[in-house]
Amino acid sequence: MSGVGISRHRLEAGLDAIAAQEPAIARALDKVGYPAERIRDRGYRTMLRTIVGQQVSVAAADSVWRKLEALLGDAIPPEELLAAEFDALRACGLSRQKQGYARSLCELVTAGEVDFAALPADDEEAIEQLTRIKGIGRWSAEIYLLFAEGREDIWPAGDLAVQVGMGKLLGLTERPSEKETRALAESWRPHRGAAAVFIWHYYQNAAL
């Protein structure tokens, strides 16, 4: 399945709506401009790739992924991964813990308990379903819904860069907590997904 994501047009429209009521966003947009789209493919492979990439470098994750594709085929079907030997997966670079996470994902997909083509429309229900997968916490579920599904009001308040960027954007003396970050963006509904993409863009801007 191809990615939906939040298109550039929708990002800009959402940010314009927030900027109309939030001077700090308006000023920041003038300084750094609109962010680029962040779109990932929808489906099981993207979530599996998330598991593979946890706590390792991009290069290491790429290496593991190539070995998995060589072993199981480009689609890495969940049934094939479940049937694979422990040592074969370990030779690809999957630790015992990550094999447990990957098998949890594959078991839920093959049982129809997680259907990436028909996740619940309610964001919290979708997050609850995705976090049934071992190794997938709220942040990973939110990132999937934002980048692969284009859920426009996803707000990953637990993300450190969002918290730091929020504090910088609003001129706060201390980094806001997750609870404070969530409260500060409450008035930005239903465009908090666009705000998150923008704050990452703002946080990463070397000129500021």
Instruction: Give catalytic residues, as residue numbers.
Output: 159
C-beta contacts of 67-72 below 8 A and 24+ residues apart: 67/91, 67/92, 67/93, 68/92, 68/94
User: How many Å apart are CA 54 and CA 135, to the nearest integer?
Assistant: 9
- Encoded tokens for 23: 């001077």
Distances (CA, A) of 44 to 18, 114, 137, 141, 208: 33, 9, 16, 12, 38
Type of residue found at 111: A
* Contact by Cβ (8 Å): 94, 51: no
User: How many Å apart are CA 128 and CA 148, to the nearest integer?
Assistant: 17
C-alpha closest to that of 81 among 124, 126, 49: 49
